[in-house]
């Protein structure tokens, strides 16, 4: 799912990184603590992929966040054209 990453300049406090989806080419962000939960296998990655790709398809720049131990996908901007 991940192809490339760079710092999310708008969210330095949570250590967000912006990624480009290898499947569709859209961009999305992941906070540092959310990435840790994903890497540790605590969250269902298949559900997150669906939510992220739906957001990307609608032109939204989504960010995966850790909300009380559960994943949350919120809109933080628009996809670059």
* Residue 33 and residue 14 in contact, taking contact as beta carbons nearer than 8 Å: yes
Global pTM value: 0.77
Task: Show pLDDT as tens, one digit a residue, over the chain (81 residues).
Answer: 455 555 555 555 556 788 888 888 888 988 888 988 998 999 988 999 999 999 999 999 999 999 888 999 999 888 876
- Establish how many alpha carbons lie within 13 A of residue 77's alpha carbon, considering only the half-sphere containing its beta carbon: 13
Cα separation, 50 vs 25, whole angstroms: 14
Bridge partner list, 51: none
């Amino acid at each position: 799912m991940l192809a490339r990453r760079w710092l999310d300049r708008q969210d330095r406090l949570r250590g967000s990184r912006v990624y480009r989806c290898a499947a569709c080419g859209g961009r999305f962000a992941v906070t540092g603590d959310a990435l840790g939960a994903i890497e540790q296998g605590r969250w269902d990655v298949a559900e997150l992929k669906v939510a992220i790709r739906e957001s990307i398809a609608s032109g939204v720049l989504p960010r995966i966040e850790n909300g009380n131990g559960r994943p949350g996908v919120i809109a933080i901007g628009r996809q670059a054209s």
